[in-house]
Structure 1
Amino acid sequence: MRKLFTLLLLSIIALTVHAQAWEAGVTLGGAGYMGDLNNRNPVQVSGGMAGVFARKNFSEYLSAKVAYNYGFIHADDANSSNQIDRNRNLSFTTYLNEISAVAEFNFFEYRPSVFRHAFTPYVFAGLGGLYYVPTAKLDDKWYDLRSFKTENEAKPYSKFAVSVPYGIGIKYSFSNKLGITADAGYRYVKTDYLDDVSGNYANPANFTTTQFRLADKRLDPNQRGTYGMQRGDGRPHDSYMFFSISISYTWITDRCYFQY
C-alpha cells in the first residue's frame, strides 16, 4: 500500500515537471460515506474536504488528473430513523487522506482558454490510495478506534486501502486562464472499516474496560455484553464520496495541444 502511495506521489511530481497543456487548482466541497452506519442514503453529506490537483489535457476529449484530497466523514446511530440502529448507538469520525490518478472523458470538445469550446460534462475513473483514521469520542476524549480492535480482530486492520474513484462532473472555462469544475465522485474502497464496524460483537471477556465501552454501546441492557450478534450490516466494503467545486489555472508550454 505504501508503494502505491509513493508511485502516485511521484506521478504527480513527474507530470508537473513535464507539463505541456496543463491546469492546476484547488478543490473544496463536502464528503459522505456509505457503510455500516449509513446504508440507506448514498448522497448524504456528513463532512468536508479540500484538495489540490494537476490536470493534463491530451486532447479536446481526454485528460488525466492527479490529486491529493483531505477530508472527514461522520455518522451517528443516534440520528438514524431505524430503531435497531439507534439501539446500537455507535458513532465515528474518520479522517481521509487520498492520493489518486484518474482519466477524464469529455462529452463535448473542451479547450481551456478557448471561449467557443469552454463547457463540457465529463465522466472519470481511476485508482487511488487512502490513509484513514477512524475515531470516536468517549467521556469527552477522542480515541483511535483501530488500535482498540473493537471487534477483537487478530491484528489491527490496515490504515491504508486501495480506492477506486469514479464519477461525473462539468467543466467551464470562464476566462482566458481560469476554469471551474463541479463533480460528484464515489470511491469504492477495499476495506470494511472506514467506520470501524464490520462483523459481529466480540466476547467482552477479551476486552479491557475502555475497549468494551468503545465496542458495545447498545442501549438495551439485556443485549449489552452479549456476543456473536451482528454489529455491522453484512456488506463486505465501505465507500466514500466527494462532492466538490474546483478552481483551476490553465497554462500552455511547449507544443499547444489544439488548433484554433
Structure 2
Amino acid sequence: MNYPYLVLILFCTLMTGKVYSQNWEAGISVGGSGYTGDLNPTGYLKHSGMGFGAHVKRNFDGYWALKLAVTGGKIAADDLKSKYEDQKNRGLNFSSPITEGSLQLEFNFFDFGIDWGQKRVTPFIYSGISYFGFNPKATYGGKTYELKIYGTEVDDSQFVAGNNTYKTTAFAVPVGAGVKFRLNNHLNVSADFGFRTAFTDYLDDVSMDYPVIDPNKNTFNGTRAALSDPTGYSNSKQTDVKIQRGDYRPRDTYFFSMITLSYVFRNKDCPF
C-alpha cells in the first residue's frame, strides 16, 4: 500500500477548508442609486438613477472578506416634485454623477463556501471607507448649469466669479447589508443595499443660507440669482440677514442597491 500517497490525500482533505478559504473573487454589479439631503430630506429609499459597479475581493475564510470596489451612479431631486410646500416654493433642482472607489470589510453571518458543511446562502454586512467624486448641475429654461462655479450660497462680499465654491471630491463611510447565494463552485450572486455617509453637505449644492447682498458689489443677479433662488423665495435682495436655504444637517448621504454576479478563482485542492 502506498502510505505516502494516502498521507498526502489525508493532508489535502484536512486542508481543503483552508485552501478554499483563501481565494480571490471578481464581479460586476447593476442596480440603482439615490440620495438623501436638502432636496430629498425623507425619501431614504427613493432611487433617482441607475448604478453600476465592479470589484475584486479576497475571501479569507467562510466569514471574512476584503473588497476593493468601483461604483458609479446618478443622484437627483427636484423641489417642484416634492410633497412639501416649502420645497415647492424654493424651487431648486439638481442632478449629479457619483463615482466612488471603496475598500470594504465584509462579514458573512454563516460559514459560506463550497466545502463540506459550509452554507450556500448567507446574509452579510459590510463597512469601510470610500472616496468619491460628484458635480451637481441644475436645469432651468432648458439649459443645464454647473452649480459649483456660481456660488449659490456665497455672500456678495466673498464671491469671486468662476471660483469653485466647494470641493467636488470627498470621503464617505459605506454601511450596508445583503444576501449572497452560491450558484456553483465558481459563481456567486448577491443582492445588497448600502448607505454612504458623505463628508460633505454639497451633493445637491445646498447646505446653509441664501447669500447676503452687498449693495456696493451686488453680484447676486442674472444667472447666479436664478440658480440660487429661482422663485425669489428668499427676497435676498431686500435683506442683509441670513435666510435659511438648506436643512442645516451637516452631511448628505447617497446609496446603492445592487445585484452582483461574481466569479471565484479557487486554488487547486491538491498537488496531484
Q: Smaller-chain TM-score range?
A: 0.7 to 0.9
**Other-structure match for 1:102:** 104
Aligned to 1:121: 123
Q: How far is 1:138 from its partner?
A: 2.1
- Report if aligned partners of 1:216, 1:225 keep a CA contact under 8 Å in 2: no
User: C-alpha displacement at 1:176, in angstroms?
Assistant: 2.4
Distance 2:117 2:143 in 1: 54
| Aligned counterparts of 1:114 and 1:92: Cα–Cα separation in 2 | 52
* Cα contact 1:113–1:250 (8 A) shared by 2: no
Q: Give the superposition deviation at 1:218.
A: 2.3
Q: Deviations over 1:126-148 (max 9, x none)?
A: 00101111011122221111111
1:45-124 aligned at under 5 Å gives the runs 45-111=47-113, 117-124=119-126
- Give the corresponding residue for 2:248: 234
Give the AA of the match of 1:152.
Answer: V
Q: What's the secondary structure of 2:144's corresponding residue?
A: strand
Aligned to 1:197: 206
Measured at CA, do residues 108 and 226 of structure 1 come closer, stay the same or move farther in structure 2, by a change above 3 Å?
farther
Is 2:248 the counterpart of 1:246? no
- Cα distance, 1:22–1:78 mapped onto 2, change above 3 Å: same
Describe the shift of the 1:156–1:114 C-alpha distance in structure 2 as closer, same or farther (beyond 3 A). farther
Deviation at 1:206, TM superposition (A): 2.6
% identical aligned pairs: 37
Correspondent of 2:29 among 10, 27, 30: 27
State the alpha-carbon separation in 2 of the partners of residues 53 and 110 from structure 1. 19
- Which whole-Å CA distance do the structure 1 matches of 2:46 and 2:35 have between them? 7
CA distance in 1, matches of 2:24, 2:238: 58
Instruction: Please state whether the residue corresponding to 1:206 is helix, strand or coil.
Output: coil
Q: 2: distance between equivalents of 1:255 and 1:64? A: 22
Contact kept, 8 Å, 1:152 with 1:206, in 2: the verdict is no
Q: Deviations over 1:60-109 (max 9, x none)?
A: 10011110011110100011111001000000001111000000010001
Point out the more displaced range, 172-181 or 187-196. 172-181
- Describe the SS at the equivalent of 1:69: strand
Query: How many residues are matched?
Result: 236
Between 1:67-76 and 1:134-143, the stretch displaced more is 134-143
> In structure 2, the residue corresponding to 1:124 is in which secondary structure?
strand
Residue 117 of structure 1, CA deviation: 2.1
Structure 2 residue aligned with 1:215, among 216, 222, 228?
228
Corresponding residue number in structure 2 for 1:5: none
Could you tell me which residue of structure 2 aligns to residue 6 of structure 1? none
User: TM-score, with normalisation over the residues of structure 1?
Assistant: 0.85
- Partner secondary structure for residue 80 of structure 2: helix
Specify which of 168, 173, 180 is matched with residue 171 of structure 1. 180
Q: Which has the larger radius of gyration?
A: 2
Secondary structure, in 3 states, of the residue corresponding to 2:55? strand
For residues 143 and 50 of structure 1, what CA distance do their matches in structure 2 show?
A: 25
> For the Cα contact (< 8 Å) 2:186–2:266, is it kept in 1?
no
CA shift in 2, pair 1:75/1:226, >3 Å = farther
The answer (yes or no) to whether the contact 2:111–2:118 under 8 Å persists in 1 is no
Question: Could you say what the CA RMSD is over the residues aligned between the two structures, in angstroms?
Answer: 2.1
Counterpart position of 2:141:
139
In structure 2, how many angstroms separate the alpha carbons of the residues matched to 1:255 and 1:126? 32
Unaligned runs of 5+ residues in structure 2 are: 1-21, 159-163
Q: Which runs of 5+ in 1 are unaligned?
A: 1-19
SS at match of 1:84: helix
2-structure distance, mates of 1:186, 1:94: 17
Q: Given the two structures, how large is their TM-score scaled by the length of structure 2? A: 0.81
Q: Once the 2 structures are TM-superposed, how far is the Cα of residue 42 of structure 1 from its aligned partner?
A: 1.1
CA distance in 1, matches of 2:80, 2:238: 21
CA distance in 2, matches of 1:223, 1:70: 38
8 Å CA contact 1:30, 1:45 repeated in 2 = yes
